């Protein structure tokens, strides 16, 4: 259980309704995913891990340290929620990776798959660069999207349909620094 005072210090006194995934649960799952990714690709082929900012920054930095093989890391910046808790349906690509994707095994790392709008916008664009393979690794999956162009190969946890925060996930840019995932009181 996280220290309540430390949590309230991080949330500015705003209480959480509940904790969904603890720091320890996340660390354990991240280690498992790192091991699976390490085993998934031939060691002599190129791997590029591409994080979607901002939400994936903590998950990505933890998971890449559990992948025991040579690899490149790069980022995209995509945004569609603004300050709200519902997707606007419009994904703004604020920064596109300049890395070469062609011929490489590419893993797109997401903090969460919710409506699927972000993945459905980014994946077809990445495919135009002819990667050797393209997979998605998402920490959380709400299993709402019915029309995903590609199901994530690696998922940390199935996520309830609440708006969740912490471990990189924000509400109006706050709460990304919580070391666990929870739901704030409305």
Ligand X SMILES: O=P(O)(O)OC[C@H]1O[C@H](OP(=O)(O)OP(=O)(O)O)[C@H](O)[C@@H]1O
Residues noted as catalytic:
114
Please say whether the beta carbons of 181 and 169 come within 8 A: yes
Question: Residue 32 and residue 38: Cα distance in Å, rounded?
Answer: 10
Residues that bind ligand X (CB under 6 A): 52, 54-55, 78-81, 87, 110-118, 170
- Name the helix (H) or strand (E) containing 75: strand 72-79
Residue 109: name the closest of 92, 95, 123 by CA: 123
Measured from the CB atom, the residue of 33 and 138 that comes closer to ligand X is 138
164 binds, among ligand GUN, ligand X, none (CB under 5 to 8 A by kind): ligand GUN
Measured from the CB atom, the residue of 21 and 81 that comes closer to ligand GUN is 81
- Contact flag: residue 164 with ligand GUN (CB under 6 A): yes
Spell out the residues 6+ positions from residue 35 whose beta carbon is closer than 8 angstroms to its own.
66
The span of 38-46, 60-68, 123-131, 168-176 binding ligand GUN (CB under 6 A) equals 168-176
CB of 33 to ligand GUN, least distance (A): 19
Question: Residue 3 and residue 21: Cα distance in Å, rounded?
Answer: 15
- Contact flag: residue 114 with ligand GUN (CB under 6 A): yes
């Amino acid at each position: 259980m996280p220290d309540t005072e430390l949590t309230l210090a991080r949330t500015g006194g705003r209480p959480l309704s509940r904790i969904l995934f603890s720091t320890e649960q996340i660390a354990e799952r991240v280690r498992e995913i790192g091991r699976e990714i390490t085993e998934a690709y031939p060691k002599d082929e190129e791997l590029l891990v591409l994080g979607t900012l901002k939400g994936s920054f903590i998950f990505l930095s933890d998971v890449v340290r559990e992948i025991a093989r040579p690899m490149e890391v790069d980022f995209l910046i995509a945004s569609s929620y603004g300050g709200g808790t519902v997707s606007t349906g419009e994904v703004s690509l604020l920064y596109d990776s300049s890395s070469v994707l062609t011929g490489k095994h590419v893993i797109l790392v997401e903090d969460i798959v919710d409506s699927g709008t972000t993945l459905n916008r980014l994946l077809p664009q990445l495919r135009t660069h002819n990667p050797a393979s393209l997979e998605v690794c998402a920490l959380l999956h709400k299993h709402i999207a019915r029309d995903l162009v590609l199901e994530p190969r690696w998922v940390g946890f199935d996520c309830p349909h609440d708006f969740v925060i912490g471990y990189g996930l924000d509400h109006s840019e706050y709460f990304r620094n919580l070391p666990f995932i929870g739901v704030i009181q409305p």
